[in-house]
A and B are shown apart, each in its own frame.
Chain A
Amino acid sequence: MSNIISTDSLFNDQQRHVIAAIADAMISADEAVNLPSASDSAILKTIMAKSEHFADRLVKYIEVFCKEIDPVTATPEALLGALDKNPQFRSFSKILTIIVMQSYYQDPRVLAAHGLAARPPFPLGHEVEAGDWSLLDPVKNRDPIYRPV
């Protein structure tokens, strides 16, 4: 978790808007199933914190990317097309895809909407069925399969 406060962000407002636009293009809201956009303020905050680790590279990518397309006014389809179809943005796309997916799928609202536990694994853990151990019976009836030495 970054402890950089907002006024110390490694991104300016324009860069932040670009990342937000790309995040929304990748995962948009679906209110019918209570799923927010990836540019939702809480999720975007996580995205920006994770992006700090790659700030030097992302700032350079954003500068070049904005010469190809205006991310703020382009449609999501056009934005994703420019990002994913141009080889010069391959690393940019990969970094942002990972950050957006990681940030989105740790949000409690997203997890709850998908029927998943909206909490960290620890300390409650999970239940896992022991399973049907009689499935082992055919294997138990086999002769040894290791080579004797």
Chain B
Amino acid sequence: MSLEPVDVLIIGAGASAATFAWSMADTRMQILCLEQGDWVNPSEYPSSTMDWESDNKFNSNPNHRANAADYPINDAESPISIANYNGVGGGTILFAGHYPRFHPSDFRVKSLDGVADDWPVDYQLLEKYYDENDRMMGVSGLAGDPAYPPKNAVMPPIPLGRAGETLARGLNDLGWHWWPSDMAIATEQYDGRDKCINLGACGSGCAQGAKASTDITYWPHAIRAGVQLKTQCRVREITVNKEGKATGAIYYDADGNEQFQPAEMVVMACNGIGTPRILLNSTSAQFPEGLGNSSGMVGKNLMFHPYAAVEGIFKEAMDGAKGPHKCVACHEFYETNLDRGFVRGFSFETQRGYGPAATAMRGVFTGRIPKGKGHHGAYGKLNERILGLVAICEDLPELHNQVTLDPELTDAHGIPAAKIQYTLSENSQKMLDFAVARGTEAMEAAGAEDIIAQRLIGNAGWHNMGTARMGTDPKTSVVNGWGRSHDVKNLFVIDGSVFVTSAAVNPTRTIQALALYFADTIKQKLASATLFD
């Protein structure tokens, strides 16, 4: 059944979609977004129950969560499993809100370090879009960070707490950089949202509304401006006509009925796993290898951020699970220094502490809390005494790291599941080892009595990038410098799939700045009637 055509059809309602839709709304075009999940009711977030640490409905692993909106992901051939959330707001529903920008050097990896490629955009071009996004989302932080060109914060930083102070003293003793984290968390009342009250449950949704998920930031503004958002609509494929122009999307509605939504432009916003999955499933005579895939790059160059963790156990009480998880960032080892034995670098972000159940599990599974005799005393020594650092290591693009369609596994609608094939590069392995050594040094300097080091966090595939990369060469990239498919002039990709390299920081702020830039460029080209040239 075919519906009334729209001008702009956006697939997915996460970070990039919300940002893009809001910006495009001032064109007064008919804009429709299809999202396979639904709106989250904040009263259902676990932080209002005693079970807040273990509510599976908000587990970040879609295979464990298995909500109706989730599709299976075969990650058996990856040491890192995927973390995501399928619903309005996407990954911002569950993210910790740690919200750094890229460094200027992150856009010039080939020119500076001789590896990977340069981006077709740079920090200078994106700066005003970063600023605009910061205002829309509400970013707390502190100006003056020597790790960045000058930038302002919209609101004051989140509190250091005992955890941040303890770590800061250690980092000062080492002479290393640190700065209060830029966070997408309101520290004052902002845009109708209340300020953070340190629930400490950021990773399972913010019942307070202080964390800036896009369901409560961009989407209300976009919908008021006339954008339509339909939920529980799972897109199966994007269709093309015989001229190779995208014509719309086939999807299953909330009742499971197949529908066809015609559109003048189709915009993919399902991020690094979801976008290539749909494009690869959209085969036709013109695109037998998947829509927009003449380069063969759709699904290829999958980048995660390999995460290492180093935790210190302290004699004095820290913050436990009180407060946002991240409060201090360290970029001492961000920029390339070949003396370290690897190229590119990593950033550290704090893991402020753990809740009561997480503390128990951490202690039991690392042998520090016995089961049986001695349990209670050992628990008391860890209770609110763990403070951690995680290292976000830059991942380089490699063709063999990829997303494909699983040959056997499907979702509830029979759409092939995504299959992940990924191996850690030698560069990543060396970087992880170095990060663990530096993290251990930092914890010792901070006064930790005992240290737990984890070289690779397996359930840490939060950042999925590179699988529909930007570039100027249609042979080696999927979209151009403003997100338009090289092959299909009315098809766009606006999410983390377009990343050329991964940087060593969380991607969401850059995803959103790019989405604003893409929208701006599209609007300019619409005005000059050159959008589809």
Residues of A within 8 A of B (CB): 1, 25-28, 30, 33, 35, 46, 50, 53, 76-77, 80, 84, 97-98, 101-102, 104-108, 110-111, 114-116, 119-133, 135-136, 138-140, 142-149
Contacts and interface: CB of A to CB of B under 8 A. Distances in A.
B208 interface: yes
Interface in B341-386: 355-357, 359-361, 364-365, 371-373, 375-376, 379-380, 383-384
Question: Which 3 pairs between the two chains have the least Cβ-Cβ distance?
Answer: A131-B160, A125-B197, A126-B322
A147 B161 CA distance: 31
B146 A98 contact: no
Given A114-B379, A140-B144, A142-B146, A126 B371 contact: no
Interface string B69-112: 00000000000000000000000000000000001110110011
A25 B48 contact: no
Interface stretch (B50-58, B458-466, B467-475): B50-58
Nearest to B161: A128
Interface of B: 45, 47-54, 56, 103-105, 107-108, 111-112, 122-123, 142, 144, 146-149, 159-162, 164-165, 168-169, 172, 175, 177-180, 196-201, 207-208, 319-323, 331-332, 334-336, 355-357, 359-361, 364-365, 371-373, 375-376, 379-380, 383-384
A87 B223 CA distance: 55
Given A128-B198, A136-B179, A149 B122 contact: yes
B372 A25 contact: yes
Best-buried of A25, A33, A138, A145 by chain B (most CB within 10 Å):
A145
B383 A114 contact: yes
A27 B283 CA distance: 56
Given A122-B208, A123-B48, 6 more contacts: A76-B373, A80-B371, A116-B320, A122-B45, A144-B149, A145-B335
B243 to A, nearest CB: 41
A33 B376 contact: yes
Nearest to A108: B50
B371 A97 contact: yes
A104 to B, nearest CB: 7
A72 to B, nearest CB: 17
B160 A126 contact: no
Nearest to B356: A105
A135 B380 contact: no
A98 B335 contact: no
Contacts of B54: 50, 102, 106
Contact of B356 (A35, A50, A114): A114
Contact of B146 (A25, A33, A126, A139): A139
Contacts of B372: 25-26, 28, 76-77, 80
B179 A135 contact: no
Given A125-B197, A135-B168, A146 B371 contact: no
Nearest to B51: A106
Contacts of A98: 361
A147 B104 contact: yes
A126 B104 contact: no
A35 to B, nearest CB: 6
Contact of B371 (A26, A30, A50, A127): A26
Contacts of A46: 51
B161 A122 contact: no
Given A106-B50, A114-B383, A132-B165, A101 B376 contact: no
B199 to A, nearest CB: 4
Contact of A146 (B104, B159, B200): B104
Contacts of A126: 197-200, 322-323
A111 B201 CA distance: 17
